[in-house]
Structure 1
Amino acid sequence: MNKKISLGAAICFMAIAAAITFTITMTYAKNIFNTKIANVDERAQVYEKISEIDQIVRNNYLNDIDEDELINAIADGYMKGLEDDYAYYMDQEEYNEYKMDNAGELIGIGVTVTLDESGYIRILEVNEGSPAEQAGLQAGDLITKVGDADVLTVGYQEATGLIRGEEGTKVTLTIHRDQEELTVEVTRKLMDTVTVTYRMIGENGYIKISKFDSNTPRDFKAAVEDLQAQGATGLIFDVRNNPGGLLDSVAEVLDYLLPEGDIVSSTDSKGDTEVLYTSDADFVDMPMVVICNGETASAAELFSAGLRDYQKAELVGVNTFGKGIMQTSYSLADGSAINFTTHYYNPPSGVNFHGVGLKPDYEVQLTDEQALRLGELSDEEDAQLQKAISVLDSQKSAS
């Protein structure tokens, strides 16, 4: 596999470093910002406005100014001003947690979450044996407050960050469940995130991928090899409720499964397209099916589309989320970082799915209750899984 880029504007306000008495080299970040605002006069107006505000405040403010708090707030405000739902600033501690999460380690409570249409945090899955399970949290719960912080007020990104913290400390969550408000206290724990689980279902191998992190390719390949050793004659990949993850990770998994050719391309703001990842000639030659749902997003959609574009798998379930844009994280000189949307990313067909999602080849709906209880359904209750088994058996009969 040929890798050219990884998944994951700059903070112009740092230009007033002297005015707010801190010294950090921001040349790279300023260059990014300068490409975002083409007009020199507009940049000058931004610098001048912030400088003017800073001078007025310092001359008249009653209390002491916390310089670290101030610069973090300025940086955070800039990213929020982009009107990019996926743009945010991370201070040093948050950025370290972000890197731990992508590396497959996280101090947290053991849940997979998403941004609910209400603006609150919705729990998609609760990891077995996790602090969240021990505290009684359930899939479908809405987290409305983290400690005293209202999720709607602080925003999804900050609220999910507040759930994390030092190992052994407790976090209090306010939960909305079945028209009832509950308060739950959960103890944070350092956990290795398990993103791949698998088992045999009859003669078929079943692999669930909950997220694409740095450990996923290794664990995925091991799962396929073990299932083949157990006699699997076909593979079912379940990416329901998979919010995505690292572009490097999904590309490596697709390279393992697909024959030689392009895997992922990107399109920038100028409309220029570049192939980012290609696959070698080695591939897994088995019948395959992918199960997806409305929470299958981002890298998980690339996974699904890649297999279908190469006619290696059919899709079963419902229309996917539709996130076909890529964010990149840039580390800053002081150990903090910024993350924002930089490109569209495209599957092998070149057809971007942002805002529309992927339509399955076989549409199978679950009831709302079944969708919330997805992890608790038996194989017989799971209509999408049963359809996937049927499709896989038909593929094998036709071959």
Structure 2
Amino acid sequence: MKAKKKLLRRALSALLSLMLLAAPALALDTAQAGELLQKYYIDSVSQEVLSQPTVERMLSALGDPYTQYFDGREYAEFLASMSDTRTGGVGVTSTMTDRGLVVEAVTEGMPAQRAGLRPGDIITALDGVTVIGQSAEAAAERLRGEPGTQVTLTVLRGGESRDYVLTREELVIPATTTTLTDGHIGYIRCTTFGEETEGHFAEGIRANDTAADLWIVDLRSNGGGSVSAATQAAGEFVGQGNLVYLRDKAGSYAVESREEDKLTMDPVIVLVDGGTASASEIFASVVRDENRGIVIGSRTYGKGVAQILLDETVYPGSFTEGDALKVTAYRYFSPNGTTTDRVGVIPDLLVDDAYTADVAYLLSAPAPTGDTSGLLRVDMKWRWYVDLDAAVSETGRPAFVALLEALPTQTPLWLGTGGADGWKRITAGELAEQYGLTDYAPRAFTDLEGSPYAAAINTLATYEIVSGPGDGTFRPQGTLTRAEFCALLAQALHDGRAGDTGFADVPADAWYAPSLNALTAMGLVSGYGDGLFHPDDPMDHQQFLTIMGRLAEYLSMNFYGAAQTEHSAALGDYWAWADWSVESVWLLDGSQRNIMGQRLSILWDDLRDIDPTALTTREEAAAMVYNLCVVTGLLTV
């Protein structure tokens, strides 16, 4: 691999954003835009795109939502969206209660502090209008305003009410904040990754690491930002090393690395959801790959491409009005060489968004110092502790059930029995029965007894990567049609796209059409020479492994690199397989090596025992998907 070990400068900073803006009046002409797209865009640019009469139509024909043109105003807004927010305010942090806004903290040197407000005060009205019954967000918005304007706070303290007339001053609301929760949990909330982000992370960790024994980093609804900012922020937890690889259209790699050591030795829990995208997915991937903690939540967005910003600092002759062009120029890969593109980050604990934070806090009980009674220990990369009294309380039970359902069956669980080292092995089902958790519904299938791949299939079920017909069974010995296989693989990839499939024998409203569309867009499946897909044809091993080999090359830069090497001699070992399948079979069976340098096959069985023309069973397909997920690092359990 040709790695350019240097940080990408601003002209090539991989800024990742999900913003979709209205088309501006363009200053860039089509000739300039075409030249830049051909030079930087990650894939080849068709003549159809280049021949469009306007830049707006060129970008529309390109079909990439992340390649965008910004006029001067939009470019300024885009850059500002990844920075701290500046507004006017009085400098109070508060929580809404049924009595009003309870002041939690006042900012040093701001109007509220100078006027004498202090924690515990209750703000009952603003400018004579009650805040009781309003949302915290609405009340906070009324506190803000233009610097230099005044606001009257009615404050209740010790049973007496008093008005404070304060003049708002400029207030910086950081995109990243750190608080210490329960006296030992460092909680970092990050809404975007920009120039200030790494500094905010470092400041928050240094200020609280002595008291904190673990960290929670909340990246829910964080749509991205700067690759460099995300990797350096993650580096505060993981330390030195190559953290992200970015591959351009020529197949060359740039690397984002960190030279400084980590700031904390404590583990981290990363909270994610479907709105966690781009740079945020990089952060979660770095923590996952480096085993610095666990990821909790729902599957992330799945944006594994990075953009460069082209503006007047790079091309002064093309951008003369403060405008810019953002172009998708890279596919990025995590430290272990895995992409999140389309797939997203699969959390270590896949839970419903409603329980993400509660599950994290359940796992954040302090480690025992002398008595293990009343604790559950969860060994998942690190040791996490659950206070069982809190877990089985009325408020804690829903999150506890969600936690037990999300645990892979192979996760060691230990029930505290007293003393400094008193632990007894226990299962999630036994815990549910012991504590009367009647809502507990394990995700494992009921008909896998006797299957050699039962553990792999049930792990996939835990992560909702495979499913059965809906009756609790998987039907492991059943075979797969081409349509059924598309549905299985698209579910694993967490992808599906509505619309015309392009195959005459597949209507747009077919149940498997979105899955087929997703896989054809990725280049994984194709039809026959007659323009048909033949969805009801059975899937034999040759067809199956051909598609899985293409998927391995897509997901992992390690498989991709192997596919680019000279290996014709090795292919002679696969004489029994059809010529069109040999390359993929070799990728899966003979291209990789383990840490000892020995050949690493990820097939579900010895190649000599696999009949190329036999039909693929559901359990074989699931086992192969599991092996690929583990070897590429999509699953780290």
Specify the TM-score bucket, using the shorter chain as the normaliser.
Answer: 0.5 to 0.7
Q: For this pair of structures, how many residues does the alignment match?
A: 279
- Distance in 1 of aligned mates of 2:351 and 2:50: 54
Change (3 A) 1:33 1:260: closer
Q: For residue 93 of structure 1, what is the aligned residue in structure 2?
A: 73
- Distance in 1 of aligned mates of 2:235 and 2:384: 26
Change (3 A) 1:280 1:360: same
Please, which of 160, 174, 178 is the counterpart of residue 194 of structure 1?
A: 174
Q: Is residue 302 from structure 1 mapped to residue 277 from structure 2 by the alignment?
A: no
Change (3 A) 1:198 1:388: farther
Q: Is residue 208 from structure 1 mapped to residue 215 from structure 2 by the alignment?
A: no
Q: For residue 324 of structure 2, what is the aligned residue in structure 1?
A: 337
Please, which of 213, 217, 220 is the counterpart of residue 240 of structure 1?
A: 220
Q: For residue 60 of structure 1, what is the aligned residue in structure 2?
A: none
Alignment map for 1:184-333 (pairs within 5 Å): 192-202=172-182, 203-229=184-210, 231-331=211-311, 332-333=318-319
3-state DSSP class of the match of 2:224? coil
- Distance in 1 of aligned mates of 2:212 and 2:57: 52
Structure 1, gaps ≥5 residues long: 17-25, 51-73, 109-126, 136-165, 168-189, 372-381
3-state DSSP class of the match of 2:344? coil
Using the TM superposition, give the Cα deviation of residue 264 of structure 1 relative to its aligned residue in structure 2, in angstroms. 0.8
Change (3 A) 1:128 1:80: farther
Q: For residue 3 of structure 1, what is the aligned residue in structure 2?
A: 7
3-state DSSP class of the match of 1:302? helix
Q: Is residue 14 from structure 1 mapped to residue 40 from structure 2 by the alignment?
A: no
Using the TM superposition, give the Cα deviation of residue 319 of structure 1 relative to its aligned residue in structure 2, in angstroms. 1.5
Change (3 A) 1:276 1:130: farther
TM-score (norm 2): 0.39
Please, which of 357, 368, 379 is the counterpart of residue 344 of structure 2?
A: 357
- Distance in 2 of aligned mates of 1:13 and 1:282: 44
- Distance in 2 of aligned mates of 1:292 and 1:85: 22
Which amino acid counterpart does residue 317 of structure 1 have in structure 2?
G
Which amino acid counterpart does residue 31 of structure 1 have in structure 2?
E
- Distance in 2 of aligned mates of 1:100 and 1:227: 28
Change (3 A) 1:132 1:79: farther
3-state DSSP class of the match of 2:209? helix
- Distance in 2 of aligned mates of 1:105 and 1:288: 26
Using the TM superposition, give the Cα deviation of residue 324 of structure 1 relative to its aligned residue in structure 2, in angstroms. 1.1
Using the TM superposition, give the Cα deviation of residue 77 of structure 1 relative to its aligned residue in structure 2, in angstroms. 3.0
Which amino acid counterpart does residue 55 of structure 2 have in structure 1?
A
TM-score (norm 1): 0.59
Deviations along 1:360-386, one digit per CA (max 9) or x if unpaired, are 11222244xx79xxxxxxxxxx43333
Using the TM superposition, give the Cα deviation of residue 131 of structure 1 relative to its aligned residue in structure 2, in angstroms. 9.3
Aligned-CA RMSD value? 3.9
- Distance in 2 of aligned mates of 1:319 and 1:270: 30
Q: For residue 468 of structure 2, what is the aligned residue in structure 1?
A: none
Q: Which moved more, 1:257-266 or 1:31-40?
A: 31-40
- Distance in 1 of aligned mates of 2:339 and 2:226: 18
Using the TM superposition, give the Cα deviation of residue 310 of structure 1 relative to its aligned residue in structure 2, in angstroms. 0.8
Change (3 A) 1:305 1:43: closer
Which amino acid counterpart does residue 333 of structure 1 have in structure 2?
F
3-state DSSP class of the match of 1:81? helix
Please, which of 360, 367, 383 is the counterpart of residue 385 of structure 1?
A: 360
- Distance in 1 of aligned mates of 2:189 and 2:306: 23
Which amino acid counterpart does residue 206 of structure 2 have in structure 1?
E
Using the TM superposition, give the Cα deviation of residue 250 of structure 1 relative to its aligned residue in structure 2, in angstroms. 0.9
3-state DSSP class of the match of 1:206? strand
Deviations along 1:5-52, one digit per CA (max 9) or x if unpaired, are 4222xx997267xxxxxxxxx5xx553244469799x49983xx74xx
Question: Are the counterparts in 1 of residues 295 and 348 from structure 2 also a CA contact under 8 Å?
Answer: yes
Deviations along 1:53-94, one digit per CA (max 9) or x if unpaired, are xxxxxxxxxxxxxxxxxxxxx333332221001122111121
- Distance in 2 of aligned mates of 1:313 and 1:132: 34
- Distance in 1 of aligned mates of 2:305 and 2:189: 24
- Distance in 2 of aligned mates of 1:3 and 1:85: 26
Using the TM superposition, give the Cα deviation of residue 396 of structure 1 relative to its aligned residue in structure 2, in angstroms. 5.4
- Distance in 2 of aligned mates of 1:235 and 1:4: 29
Q: For residue 31 of structure 1, what is the aligned residue in structure 2?
A: 35
Change (3 A) 1:4 1:15: closer
Using the TM superposition, give the Cα deviation of residue 280 of structure 1 relative to its aligned residue in structure 2, in angstroms. 3.4
How many percent of aligned residue pairs carry the same amino acid? 22
- Distance in 2 of aligned mates of 1:256 and 1:353: 22
Change (3 A) 1:358 1:30: closer
Q: For residue 62 of structure 2, what is the aligned residue in structure 1?
A: 82
3-state DSSP class of the match of 1:289? strand
- Distance in 2 of aligned mates of 1:97 and 1:317: 30
3-state DSSP class of the match of 2:265? coil
Using the TM superposition, give the Cα deviation of residue 277 of structure 1 relative to its aligned residue in structure 2, in angstroms. 2.7
3-state DSSP class of the match of 2:359? helix
- Distance in 2 of aligned mates of 1:90 and 1:14: 13
Using the TM superposition, give the Cα deviation of residue 222 of structure 1 relative to its aligned residue in structure 2, in angstroms. 1.0
Change (3 A) 1:235 1:339: same
Using the TM superposition, give the Cα deviation of residue 351 of structure 1 relative to its aligned residue in structure 2, in angstroms. 0.4
Q: For residue 174 of structure 1, what is the aligned residue in structure 2?
A: none
Question: Are the counterparts in 2 of residues 290 and 388 from structure 1 also a CA contact under 8 Å?
Answer: no
Change (3 A) 1:221 1:13: closer
3-state DSSP class of the match of 2:29? helix
Using the TM superposition, give the Cα deviation of residue 260 of structure 1 relative to its aligned residue in structure 2, in angstroms. 2.2
Change (3 A) 1:78 1:290: same
- Distance in 2 of aligned mates of 1:287 and 1:44: 48
- Distance in 2 of aligned mates of 1:193 and 1:308: 29
Using the TM superposition, give the Cα deviation of residue 284 of structure 1 relative to its aligned residue in structure 2, in angstroms. 2.3
Question: Are the counterparts in 1 of residues 365 and 384 from structure 2 also a CA contact under 8 Å?
Answer: no
Which amino acid counterpart does residue 228 of structure 1 have in structure 2?
D
3-state DSSP class of the match of 1:389? coil
3-state DSSP class of the match of 2:64? coil
- Distance in 2 of aligned mates of 1:262 and 1:15: 38
Question: Are the counterparts in 1 of residues 363 and 384 from structure 2 also a CA contact under 8 Å?
Answer: no
Using the TM superposition, give the Cα deviation of residue 304 of structure 1 relative to its aligned residue in structure 2, in angstroms. 0.8
Question: Are the counterparts in 2 of residues 236 and 388 from structure 1 also a CA contact under 8 Å?
Answer: no
| Relative contact order, higher structure (CA 8 A, sep 6+) | 1
Question: Are the counterparts in 2 of residues 104 and 215 from structure 1 also a CA contact under 8 Å?
Answer: yes
3-state DSSP class of the match of 2:283? helix
